[in-house]
């Protein structure tokens, strides 16, 4: 890579500092701008009638009373929208064999999950729309539902999409080495477990929402979107509503949590856009909490049969598993519902030297809500399977769980290296992070203490995970498969007349602090104070084209584009400055908003007190913008620069972390108290430690949710039985531990910035550590659990008390 190698050492660099978020005060003063805060003149409101059953044929829908209801402007059924919306299909070319039928925003003839949109009512208020929706009578001839994914492939199971002949959506097997021979070896111990992962969902505190305005005079559609990928959404709206892409503008302002939930195509949002277009008036749709639970994508839902073979000296001889996962009746558009299973195949055991590996995933249709990518896609499954089997195997052969990791983790000096499935790994630090973890948590002392406490009838346990996280995805993730999802991102930086800079970037902000780190990078590399930087993200009209923020790519990809743009702008400004000052660009620097002579302060961009200031940035900018007559006519100053960046040569930039949980299990009640959690992570160069820690802690807590609390509970006939916040449990302040976060920094060599992602490690890693800790605590009681969430009831069942 080429670039400004000294930027990290500049005294006015903000990289590596916990700069507070400039946008925090706005949110604290109640001046956020979320989608539901938008009020437009003549705006209408949409409400939906949704399928009350999991599977059935629509016989009749009587909307006449609703249509006649005062205040109702329009009522649309699925059939009414056929002429206005081109169906969408959730498959990608690189997931060979994946199949899913065309989907419409609302069911047309058959309903396939409880909550599927059936009828949209558009009225002058949401209350009126709901009143009218209640008057709609729907007759559905129920069909037998397929809810249990493990029975979905039975020969006598009803087939959801007849044309396919079975409920199989996708299947992939990967194999490396000779696992059968390795499992058959006489000198190995084989451990087999079945792991079950419940369905859970994102529960973004701000539910999905859209405000759509259509201006027929210009054939222009504007979509205010609570989401992560504005340019992807622009393509989708244009294609499926039949508009030129440039006539669709997607704006996402403040987003109240996303976690991968708000990055998919939802029928109710597309229907809202269609209605706005048909009616020529703005239409707002905000999902209520019931709608969120029924239709926001669900996640996980896997059953994995896994086994591991280890030698007496603790070396992994082979790892193999079968994964089955239920995705609802369609594969989600456009990212599909097969990526998670694919990640499970790719990631399981990726921290370890693994020669013999076999994994098969089967992705099946069922009559439940759609399942798709949620924070840490596939990671918790992969880590639970690999590290769960490994710790159980360690206990089988009487080896400490840290020691068995040390014997199998890929050496820190062995990179570049490849996984069993052929993915390239580089710049990882498993041993260093594990060593640091062991020290930080005082591992040996804690083990000794637990042994004592067990004698006193107190059951504590420690569990670890050594994980990898996929970040900074290249085009190999989606683009290669034909998805309208950019893998490159761009940043434009312009010098304002007042000497400030304006950064606009295609990555987006959902609270992780993207805008802050872009400002830090731009300010530091270019040479202005933080408060002289303004950042715009989340608007297809004014930002460069790019992918947005998902798969932990904002800092690594958007950050690098920003670094390069800031460096380019600085060079451009210095050329202008040199002309004005009759100096040479090499002899000048920009420090704290001033053009200074290099050397006057010790050089090298130091900017010490003695720097001799030649002119201010605002003088320079005003000269260029207002008084061009003072410049030589052959000087064509450009005070704006754009750079794009994408990851090349590798499909993803992996990060790693070592985490540990300490828990106490009450064998009488089955309750688990999380006493401590430690995460030592390596996301490469840390741009803002507080923000990274926030990502790790928030991620760990979401992982705790999946491990102990969160589950979308369906009845056998496909009713979601806990679709309220009172019934679906999420982590609350009281039960959560303080989480200790430490960093090891191994910058990625794929960029100058060296930053990798940090958004998903906590969610991806913590469930494995937690399950291992619970099993460590249960072991003296002769019990174990390999099902998530690990509810008190399931723990009591494992103990045989209920």
Partner 1 sequence: MQETRTISLSVNGEPSTIAVPVRQNLVDFLRDTLGLTGSHVGCEHGVCGACTLEVNGAMVRGCLMLAVQADGAEVITVEGLADSGRGADLRQAFIDRNALQCGFCTPGMLASALEYVERGGSSERSAIREHLSGNYCRCTGYQSVVDAVCDVIDGRAQS
> Considering the rule CB under 6 A, would residue 726 count as an interface residue with ligand FES?
no
With CB under 8 A as the contact rule, which of the stretches 114-122, 203-211, 387-395, 412-420 interacts with partner 1? 203-211
CB 549 within 8 Å of CB 508:
yes
In the complex with partner 1, the residue whose CB is nearer, 39 or 633, is 39
With CB under 8 A as the contact rule, which of the stretches 252-260, 321-329, 423-431, 497-505 interacts with partner 1? 252-260
Please tell me the distance from the alpha carbon of residue 340 to that of residue 298, in angstroms, as a whole number: 12
> Considering the rule CB under 6 A, would residue 780 count as an interface residue with ligand FES?
no
With CB under 8 A as the contact rule, which of the stretches 303-311, 415-423, 440-448, 504-512 interacts with partner 1? 504-512
With CB under 8 A as the contact rule, which of the stretches 196-204, 416-424, 495-503, 606-614 interacts with partner 1? 196-204
With CB under 8 A as the contact rule, which of the stretches 232-240, 253-261, 656-664, 773-781 interacts with partner 1? 253-261
CB 767 within 8 Å of CB 380:
yes
**What's the min distance (Å) between Cβ of 512 and partner 1?**
6
Among 52, 158, 257, 585, binds ligand FES (CB under 6 A): 257
Site string for partner 1, 639-678 (x = CB under 8 A): ----------------------------------------
Binding partner of residue 24 among ligand FES, partner 1, none, CB cut-off 5 to 8 Å per kind: partner 1
Beta-strand ranges (E) seen in 82-158 are 110-111, 117-123, 137-142
With CB under 8 A as the contact rule, which of the stretches 13-21, 135-143, 310-318, 664-672 interacts with partner 1? 13-21
Beta-strand ranges (E) seen in 634-731 are 640-645, 653-665, 672-682
Residues 343-402 binding ligand FES (CB under 6 A) are: none
Distances (CA, A) of 621 to 502, 526, 549, 607: 13, 14, 32, 21
DSSP 8-state symbol, 556: I
In the complex with partner 1, the residue whose CB is nearer, 490 or 511, is 511
Count CB atoms within 10 A of the CB of residue 324.
20
Beta-strand ranges (E) seen in 70-216 are 72-77, 110-111, 117-123, 137-142, 168-176, 188-201, 209-215
Binding partner of residue 279 among ligand FES, partner 1, none, CB cut-off 5 to 8 Å per kind: none
Residues 423-442 binding ligand FES (CB under 6 A) are: none
Residues 279-298 binding partner 1 (CB under 8 A) are: 288-289
Binding partner of residue 697 among ligand FES, partner 1, none, CB cut-off 5 to 8 Å per kind: partner 1
In the complex with partner 1, the residue whose CB is nearer, 300 or 431, is 300
Distances (CA, A) of 237 to 307, 548, 658, 747: 45, 16, 42, 38
Among 312, 451, 732, 802, binds partner 1 (CB under 8 A): 732
Among 4, 736, 745, 779, binds partner 1 (CB under 8 A): 736
Q: Which residues, including other chains, have CB under 8 Å from residue 622's CB and lie 6 or more apart?
A: 497
Binding partner of residue 702 among ligand FES, partner 1, none, CB cut-off 5 to 8 Å per kind: partner 1
In the complex with partner 1, the residue whose CB is nearer, 397 or 725, is 725
Residue given tokens 């804690």 in the structure block: 446
**What's the min distance (Å) between Cβ of 523 and partner 1?**
18
> Considering the rule CB under 6 A, would residue 205 count as an interface residue with ligand FES?
yes
Distances (CA, A) of 280 to 127, 215, 220, 283, 789: 21, 6, 10, 9, 47
Among 461, 513, 524, 747, binds partner 1 (CB under 8 A): 513
With CB under 8 A as the contact rule, which of the stretches 31-39, 477-485, 486-494, 537-545 interacts with partner 1? 31-39
Please tell me the distance from the alpha carbon of residue 373 to that of residue 297, in angstroms, as a whole number: 8
Distances (CA, A) of 258 to 431, 478, 510, 753: 33, 19, 7, 26
Rg of the chain over CA atoms, in angstroms?
28
Tell me the three state secondary structure of residue 72: strand
Binding partner of residue 668 among partner 1, ligand FES, none, CB cut-off 5 to 8 Å per kind: none
Which token pair is 237?
């709206």
In the complex with ligand FES, the residue whose CB is nearer, 512 or 775, is 512
Binding partner of residue 440 among partner 1, ligand FES, none, CB cut-off 5 to 8 Å per kind: none
Residues 504-563 binding ligand FES (CB under 6 A) are: 511
> Considering the rule CB under 6 A, would residue 499 count as an interface residue with ligand FES?
no
Sign of the dihedral defined by the CA atoms of residues 516, 517, 519, 523, in that order: positive
CB 401 within 8 Å of CB 391:
yes
| Burial (0-12, 13-18, 19+ Cβ within 10 Å), 686 | buried
Q: How crowded is the C-beta side of 261, counted as CA atoms within 13 Å?
A: 26
> Considering the rule CB under 8 A, would residue 31 count as an interface residue with partner 1?
yes
With CB under 8 A as the contact rule, which of the stretches 30-38, 314-322, 528-536, 545-553 interacts with partner 1? 30-38
**What's the min distance (Å) between Cβ of 773 and ligand FES?**
26
CA angle, 224 then 228 then 502, to 5°: 80
SS (H, E, C) 604-634: CCCCCCCCCEEEEHHHHHHHHHHCHHHCCCC
CA angle, 484 then 489 then 493, to 5°: 140
CB 96 within 8 Å of CB 11:
no
With CB under 8 A as the contact rule, which of the stretches 2-10, 46-54, 112-120, 694-702 interacts with partner 1? 694-702
Binding partner of residue 586 among partner 1, ligand FES, none, CB cut-off 5 to 8 Å per kind: none
Binding partner of residue 21 among partner 1, ligand FES, none, CB cut-off 5 to 8 Å per kind: partner 1
Please tell me the distance from the alpha carbon of residue 284 to that of residue 275, in angstroms, as a whole number: 10
With CB under 8 A as the contact rule, which of the stretches 211-219, 396-404, 497-505, 506-514 interacts with partner 1? 506-514
CB 343 within 8 Å of CB 470:
yes
> Considering the rule CB under 8 A, would residue 205 count as an interface residue with partner 1?
yes
With CB under 8 A as the contact rule, which of the stretches 18-26, 145-153, 623-631, 792-800 interacts with partner 1? 18-26
With CB under 8 A as the contact rule, which of the stretches 169-177, 229-237, 248-256, 266-274 interacts with partner 1? 248-256
Residue given tokens 């009713």 in the structure block: 719
Please tell me the distance from the alpha carbon of residue 179 to that of residue 90, in angstroms, as a whole number: 33
**What's the min distance (Å) between Cβ of 143 and partner 1?**
32
**Residues in the chain, overall count:** 802
> Considering the rule CB under 6 A, would residue 694 count as an interface residue with ligand FES?
no
> Considering the rule CB under 8 A, would residue 255 count as an interface residue with partner 1?
yes
**What's the min distance (Å) between Cβ of 69 and partner 1?**
9
Q: How crowded is the C-beta side of 103, counted as CA atoms within 13 Å?
A: 27
**What's the min distance (Å) between Cβ of 38 and partner 1?**
9
Distances (CA, A) of 712 to 200, 208, 292, 604, 709: 5, 18, 12, 58, 10
> Considering the rule CB under 8 A, would residue 25 count as an interface residue with partner 1?
yes
**What's the min distance (Å) between Cβ of 476 and partner 1?**
29
SS3 content of the chain, % helix, strand, coil (to 5): 30, 25, 45
Could you tell me how many residues of this chain bind ligand FES (CB under 6 A)? 3
Please tell me the distance from the alpha carbon of residue 87 to that of residue 271, in angstroms, as a whole number: 12
Binding partner of residue 20 among partner 1, ligand FES, none, CB cut-off 5 to 8 Å per kind: partner 1
**What's the min distance (Å) between Cβ of 732 and partner 1?**
5
> Considering the rule CB under 8 A, would residue 757 count as an interface residue with partner 1?
no
Interface residues toward partner 1, by CB under 8 A:
18, 20-21, 24-25, 27-32, 34, 36-37, 39, 127-128, 131, 202-207, 254-259, 288-289, 510-513, 690-691, 693-694, 697-702, 724-726, 730-734, 736, 738-739
Interface residues toward ligand FES, by CB under 6 A:
205, 257, 511
């Amino acid at each position: 890579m080429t670039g400004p190698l000294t930027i990290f050492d500049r005294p006015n660099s903000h990289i590596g500092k916990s700069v507070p978020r400039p946008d925090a005060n706005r949110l604290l003063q109640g001046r956020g701008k979320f989608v539901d805060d938008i009020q437009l003149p003549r705006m209408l409101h949409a409400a939906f009638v949704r399928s009350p059953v999991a599977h059935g044929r629509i016989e009749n829908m009587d909307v006449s009373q609703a249509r006649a209801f005062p205040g109702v402007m329009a009522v649309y059924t699925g059939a009414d929208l056929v002429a206005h919306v081109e169906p969408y299909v959730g498959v990608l070319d690189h997931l060979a064999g994946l199949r899913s039928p065309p989907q419409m925003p609302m069911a047309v003839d058959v309903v396939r999950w409880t909550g599927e949109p059936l009828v949209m009512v558009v009225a002058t208020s949401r209350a009126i729309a709901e009143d009218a929706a209640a008057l709609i009578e729907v007759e559905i001839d129920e069909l037998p539902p397929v809810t249990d994914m493990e029975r979905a492939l039975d020969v006598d199971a009803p087939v959801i999409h007849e044309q396919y002949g079975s409920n199989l959506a996708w299947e992939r097997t990967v194999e490396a080495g000779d696992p059968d021979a390795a499992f058959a070896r006489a000198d190995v111990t084989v451990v087999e477990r079945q792991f079950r992962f419940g369905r859970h969902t994102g529960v973004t505190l701000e539910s999905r929402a859209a405000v759509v305005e259509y201006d027929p005079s210009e054939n222009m559609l504007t979509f205010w979107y609570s989401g992560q990928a504005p340019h992807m959404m622009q393509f989708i709206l244009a294609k499926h509503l039949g508009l030129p892409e440039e006539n669709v503008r997607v704006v996402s302002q403040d987003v109240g949590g996303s976690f991968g939930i708000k990055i998919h195509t939802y029928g109710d949002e597309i229907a809202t856009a269609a209605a706005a277009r048909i009616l020529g008036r703005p239409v707002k749709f905000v999902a209520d909490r019931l709608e969120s639970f029924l239709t926001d994508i669900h996640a996980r839902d896997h059953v994995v049969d896994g086994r591991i073979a280890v030698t007496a000296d603790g070396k992994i001889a082979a790892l193999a598993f079968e994964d089955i996962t239920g995705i609802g009746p369609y594969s989600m558009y456009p990212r599909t519902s097969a990526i998670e299973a694919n990640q499970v195949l790719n990631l399981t055991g990726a921290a370890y030297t693994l020669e013999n590996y076999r994994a098969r995933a089967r992705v099946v249709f069922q009559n439940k809500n759609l399942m798709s990518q949620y924070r840490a896609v596939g990671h918790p499954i992969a880590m639970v399977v690999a590290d769960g089997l490994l710790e159980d195997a360690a206990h089988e052969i009487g080896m400490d769980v840290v020691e068995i990791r040390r014997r199998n983790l890929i050496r820190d000096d062995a990179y570049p290296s490849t996984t069993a499935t052929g993915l390239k790994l580089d710049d990882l630090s498993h041993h260093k992070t594990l060593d640091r973890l062991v020290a930080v948590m005082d591992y040996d002392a804690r083990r000794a203490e637990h042994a004592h406490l067990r004698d006193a009838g107190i059951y504590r346990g420690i569990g670890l995970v050594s994980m990898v996280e996929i970040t900074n995805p290249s085009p190999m993730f989606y683009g290669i498969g034909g998805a309208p999802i950019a893998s490159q991102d761009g940043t434009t930086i312009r010098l304002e007349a007042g000497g400030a800079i304006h950064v606009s970037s295609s990555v987006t902000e959902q609270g992780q602090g993207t805008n802050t780190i872009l400002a830090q990078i731009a300010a530091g590399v270019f040479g202005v104070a933080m408060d002289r930087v303004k950042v715009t993200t989340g608007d297809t009209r004014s930002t460069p084209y790019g992918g947005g923020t998902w798969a932990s790519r904002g800092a690594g990809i958007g950050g690098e584009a920003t670094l390069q743009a800031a460096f380019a702008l600085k060079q451009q400004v210095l050329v202008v400055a040199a002309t004005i000052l009759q100096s040479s660009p090499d002899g000048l620097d920009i420090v704290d908003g001033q053009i200074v002579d290099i050397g006057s302060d010790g050089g090298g961009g130091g900017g010490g007190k003695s720097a001799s200031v030649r002119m201010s940035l605002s003088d320079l900018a005003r000269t260029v913008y207002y008084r061009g007559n003072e410049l030589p006519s052959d000087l064509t100053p450009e005070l704006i620069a754009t750079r794009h960046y994408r990851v090349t040569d590798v499909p993803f930039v992996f990060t790693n972390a070592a985490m540990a949980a300490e828990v106490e299990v009450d064998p009488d009640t089955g309750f688990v108290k999380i006493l401590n959690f430690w995460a030592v992570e390596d996301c490469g160069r840390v741009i803002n430690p507080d923000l990274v820690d926030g990502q790790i802690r928030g991620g760990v807590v979401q992982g705790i949710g999946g491990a102990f609390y969160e589950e979308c509970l369906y009845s056998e006939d496909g009713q979601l039985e806990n679709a309220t916040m009172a019934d679906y449990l999420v982590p609350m302040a009281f039960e959560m531990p303080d989480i200790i976060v430490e960093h090891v920094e191994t910058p990625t060599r794929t960029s100058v910035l060296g930053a990798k992602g940090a958004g998903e490690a906590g969610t991806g890693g913590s469930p494995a550590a937690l399950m291992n800790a619970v099993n460590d605590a249960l072991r003296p009681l002769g019990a174990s659990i390999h099902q998530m969430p690990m509810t008190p009831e399931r723990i009591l069942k494992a103990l045989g008390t209920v």
